[in-house]
Structure 1
């Protein structure tokens, strides 16, 4: 029998090991609680993806110019 070792990742919120598979419905999070904490941080803009600043709202910039 060929049984593969399951992939285990750390919950990005609390660090608890999580099996990456059907047994972990909130993967990569360990629980709904950690999933919602992470979502709240994104919603409150505590987390963001680095990139160029949005110029559309600054200094009167317009696509029509």
Structure 2
């Protein structure tokens, strides 16, 4: 059974498989509109990120 998801932009149903090249978006258009909203800062992360969730290539690892 195929899994479907809703396009984050227009809510159209999108099959979640290797043939859905723009997933989770339904089309290149919805994908680019979403990218533009992030670039214009209409979308943003609402809460500060916890420092242990941010990858830092210079932070020493705990082995």
Matches within 5 A, 1:9-24: 9-24=5-20
Aligned residues: 48
Distance 1:30 1:11 in 2: 6
User: Offset at 1:49?
Assistant: 0.6
- SS state at 2:14 partner: strand
Output the aligned Cα RMSD: 0.7
User: Offset at 1:23?
Assistant: 1.5
Q: TM-score, normalised by structure 2?
A: 0.73
Gaps of 5+ in 1: 53-65
The structure whose residues are more often helix, as a share, is 2
Deviation beyond 2 Å, 4+ runs, structure 1 = none
Determine which structure has more spread, i.e. the larger CA radius of gyration. Answer: 1
